[in-house]
Amino acid sequence: MNLAINEPWELELPSTRTVRFVKARTALRWWPVAILLVAAFAAAFPFLLAPLNPDITNLSARLEGPGYSAGGVRFILGTDNLGRDILSRLIWGVRVSVVVATASVLVAGGFGGAMGIIAGAQKKILGPVIMRVADMVLSIPFFLLAILVVAALGPSVRNLVIVLALVRWPRYARVAYAQTIETSKREFVQAAIALGARKLRIVRRHILPEVLPPLVVVATLEVGLMVVYEAALSFIGLGVQPPTPSWGAMLSTGQEFVSTAWWISTFPGLALFLLVVAVNRLGDLVRDRLDPRGH
């Protein structure tokens, strides 16, 4: 891409070194993928990575700093207020973040995308109804709505996914709706209508390929947000329940001991931050790929 040559008479082959350098630089842009692969591996096989059992408490090793070792056991990132190994809890905690974020994005994106396309294609009655409902959901501050619904349903992984999907689907619906409407006005769709194509065929062949890229972009950007919101709900005690390790809950403990044990909150925060940065960066890369106008 970076070597694009506009005019044939400008043709001048780049040196091998330049090619290698550009290739290496292009490859490095995809570092978020490496972080996400590590996270995915940790989520799938935490028992292979974690040095200790994340739930075993050790009251004689409470609130010990990073690098503490006792009786031949080494706590690389220190221990929490119950003497549990921070590193092991950190590794097991990826699971909740990854599962909840991925599942809620898939549910919200699938449902919201479908709703948006339907609304764009059925402009008479169904469309306005769907979009008004979406507006309504969007008009409630969504963290409050999430708190309300979790409080009503009770906290669990399944309910977290339901709640996050419930509050986030209108975002996808709006994007899909706008894109459907916009695409419907384009010449190729008008031509298809004029040629007598049925609605379902137009949606599948002409609308869907135009709607999917922006939806994917929204979805990749939403994953990061979902990671944060899962952690936030866990932070205020409405997420995954103890003793299941969750970064949000670890941060909450860390806040209590902020003046005596900085490591309890710092490491889960850092992990969360790295995961979210990687997801967001990937989202940007995906957008740049799917939206050639940016180049």
* Single residue of 5, 40, 73, 140 touching another protein by CB under 8 A: 140
In whole angstroms, give the CA distance from residue 183 to residue 190: 9
Using CB under 8 A, count the residues that bind another protein.
45
Residue 241 phi, psi dihedral angles, 5° rounding:
-90, 150
Closest separation in Å from C-beta 205 to another protein:
28
Residues 164/145, Cβ–Cβ less than 8 Å: no
Contact predicate 200/269, CB 8 Å:
no
Tokens for 287? 């957008």
By CB under 8 A, residue 49 contacts another protein: no
Residue carrying structure tokens 């974690």: 50
What distance in Å separates the CA atoms of residue 263 and residue 67, rounded to the nearest whole number? 11
Candidate residues 151, 156, 242, 288; the one interacting with another protein per rule CB under 8 A: 151
C-beta neighbour count of 166 within 10 angstroms: 20
Give the residue with the Cβ less far from another protein, 113 or 268.
Answer: 268
Min dist CB 151 to another protein, Å, is: 5
Which of 232, 285, 286, 290 contacts another protein by CB under 8 A? 232
Which residue, among 186, 233, 235, 242, has the nearest Cα to 209 in the 3D structure? 186
Pick left, alpha or beta for residue 78 (phi over 0 → left; psi -120 to 50 → alpha; otherwise beta).
left
The answer to whether the CB of 231 falls within 8 A of the CB of 272 is yes
Among the listed ranges 18-26, 97-105, 118-126, 234-242, the one in contact with another protein (CB under 8 A) is 234-242
CA pair distance 147, 134, nearest whole angstrom:
19
> Residues 240-259 vs another protein: string with x where CB under 8 A?
--------x--xx-xx--xx
Of the candidate residues 17, 124, 185, 293, the single one contacting another protein (CB under 8 A):
293
Q: Which of 277, 285, 286, 290 binds another protein (CB under 8 A)?
A: 277
Among 224, 226, 245, 246, binds another protein (CB under 8 A): 224
Cis peptide preceding 46, ω within 30 of 0: no
Nearer of residues 165 and 238 to another protein, judged by Cβ: 238
Tokens encoding 39: 């996270």
Q: Does 237 bind another protein (CB under 8 A)?
A: yes
Interacting span for another protein (CB under 8 A) from 61-69, 97-105, 142-150, 190-198: 142-150
Q: Do 94 and 39 meet the contact criterion of CB atoms below 8 Å apart?
A: yes
Residues that bind another protein (CB under 8 A): 132-133, 135-136, 139-141, 143-145, 147-149, 151-153, 224, 228, 231-232, 235-238, 248, 251-252, 254-255, 258-259, 262, 265-266, 268-270, 272-273, 276-277, 280-281, 293-294
